[in-house]
Amino acid sequence: MFAQLESQLAQQQSAVLLVSRGNEVIFRYGDETTRYPCHSMRKSFLSALIGCAEAEGRFDLSLTLDALGIDDREGLSDVEKGATLYDLLTARSGIYHPANYETPWMRRIKPPRHRYAPGENWCYSNWDFNALGTAWRQLTGEAINQAFASRIAQPIGMQDYRPQEDSWLEPGDSSVHPAYPFMLSSRDLLRFGQLFLQEGRWQGQSVIPAHWVRLSTAPLSHAGTRGAYGFMWWVTRDGVGWPQAILPPGSFSAQGAGGHYCLVAPSHQLVVVHRVDTTQVGHEVNRYQTGKLLHTLFSALQRQERQYDDLN
């Protein structure tokens, strides 16, 4: 059933593809135990942590940067300091200060400073996401890596995550707000996607509030040909998410540079994890290859469903 999928994977720089339906892995390709960089998938991890702290009353999304005393090297204006944590979480802060850990695409799409007020414009900006890491540490007093270990990795039984080695703060010259990179194995990332498929529950325990799971994966902002955006999650809009693929309604994904993604499709009870060895210079699976791969996968699943219906 998956012969064409395997052929495509072998012809590109895919390192791993895992597909699970319900609680069963129905397709495996590559070494699922190798820990690869997560790149921007880290933002969905922090979003999940923020959901926990918000439910506990320890992370108030209405707080402004001014109230928190958050600034940066080039100085924020009074208007910029009026941005709330909610504005940052939705990538609508209106702050286009230089940021650390940016890709060339992020720099290209960033408007000039002060063009938009907070809340007016969506822009995928690492300034927002990194400053949220600063706010997390300030409001909770917890390190992101340790919080992820205790609040998510341990409760859902991640097998390979090592907090001290696999997540850290990465400073840079552009901003005082460091990035917070992660390394995860594909099987651990699959568990994270499964947690969201199950609306934050794991073996009867609420790990992330179900309301937060639904809210953070809602299509809050229009993201053009990339679909929509929620609380640091990419969200499918009318099937739009990657070129040449029509995605199931209600699906959402954590995405990282180079072709990393964890796609959750609740309507199909599916989680799809794709990894690339981006520690190797030049290794990448681009958005067009991803779209073709997902089209092949969903076409194969549809054929399987039709065959099942014909037999029954």
* DSSP assignment string, 55-103: HTTS--TT-BHHHHT---TT---HHHHT-BHHHHHTT--------TT--
Tokens at 210, concatenated: 């179900």
- The reported pLDDT for the residue numbered 244 is 94
| Separation of alpha carbons 75 and 141, rounded Å | 25
Q: Where does the pLDDT of residue 304 fall: very low under 50, low under 70, confident under 90, or very high at 90 and above?
A: confident
- The reported pLDDT for the residue numbered 311 is 65
Name the nearest CA neighbour of 32 among 191, 197, 145: 191
pLDDT tens, position by position, 29-57: 999 999 999 999 999 999 999 999 999 99
Q: Nearest 5 degrees, angle CA 118-CA 122-CA 128?
A: 65
- The reported pLDDT for the residue numbered 310 is 62
Please give the average per-residue pLDDT across 209-215, as a whole number: 98
Domain 3-311: give its CATH architecture: 3-Layer(aba) Sandwich (3.40)
Phi (first) and psi of residue 36, to 5 degrees: -110, 160
pLDDT tens, position by position, 138-192: 999 999 999 999 999 999 999 999 999 999 999 999 999 999 999 999 999 999 9
Q: Where does the pLDDT of residue 309 fall: very low under 50, low under 70, confident under 90, or very high at 90 and above?
A: low
Sorted by sequence, the CB contacts under 8 Å of residue 75 that are 6+ apart come out as none
Task: Let me know: does 184 contact 161? Beta carbons within 8 Å.
Answer: yes
Question: What is the maximal distance between C-alpha atoms in the chain?
Answer: 66
Global pTM reads 0.97
Q: Where does the pLDDT of residue 306 fall: very low under 50, low under 70, confident under 90, or very high at 90 and above?
A: confident
Q: Does residue 222 register a pLDDT over 80?
A: yes
Q: Does residue 256 register a pLDDT over 70?
A: yes
| Separation of alpha carbons 86 and 131, rounded Å | 12
